[in-house]
Amino acid sequence: MRKGAKEMVDRWTFRGKARDTGEWIVGDLQQVGHKVFIDDDRVRARVYPETVGQCTGYKDCGWKPVFEGDVCKFEIGIEKLIGKIVYNPKACAFEMRNNVVVGAYGEEATHTRLLCHCDKIDVIGNIHDSPGLPPKED
């Protein structure tokens, strides 16, 4: 097992921010018409669709499940980076995405790494509660 790659968790779990309370709800994803719900076996909450993220199946160094939209510190070899978790449909996999300055005039490039190649993943926030982490890219 890779360093920092904890046991896999249920990849069919989703989370979303509840419209009525603003709290994060983790559970099964349901859609009724244009309304999106998360059902955690205790409560069925309507959530903001833009906050819904799927569990990647990985846990971070603190044993917290890692979700799409999380902002994480991670290592690849000796590199220590901060990036966000996104789903790449072409690779059919989750990846870390981060911006780096590559040019003399401050040009930026987006680096991507498949999540399975990242070591020591540590969730430090998410793109909805911490919109400045990491800097946004299109």
- Give the model's pLDDT for residue 105: 76
Neighbours of 72 (CB within 10 A): 26
Radius of gyration of the chain from its Cα atoms, rounded to whole angstroms:
16
Average pLDDT, the chain: 84
pTM assigned to the model: 0.82
- Give the model's pLDDT for residue 5: 45
Higher pLDDT, 137 or 112: 112
Is residue 66 predicted with pLDDT exceeding 90? yes
- Give the model's pLDDT for residue 9: 62
Contacting residues for 71 by C-beta, under 8 A, at least 6 apart: 82, 83, 84, 85, 123, 124, 125, 126, 127, 130, 133, 134
State percent of the chain over pLDDT 90: 49
- Give the model's pLDDT for residue 134: 61
- Give the model's pLDDT for residue 6: 43
Q: Tell me the domains of the chain and their CATH numbers.
A: 10-51 (no CATH), 55-129 (2.30.30)
- Give the model's pLDDT for residue 21: 94
Average pLDDT over residues 50-67: 92
Two tokens, residue 108: 């930026």
Burial 91-116 (b: 16+ CB within 10 A, else e): eeebbbebbeeeeeeeeeeebebebe
Alpha-carbon distance 112 to 95, whole Å? 6
| Helix ranges, 93-132 (H) | none
- Give the model's pLDDT for residue 18: 96
Is residue 67 predicted with pLDDT exceeding 70? yes
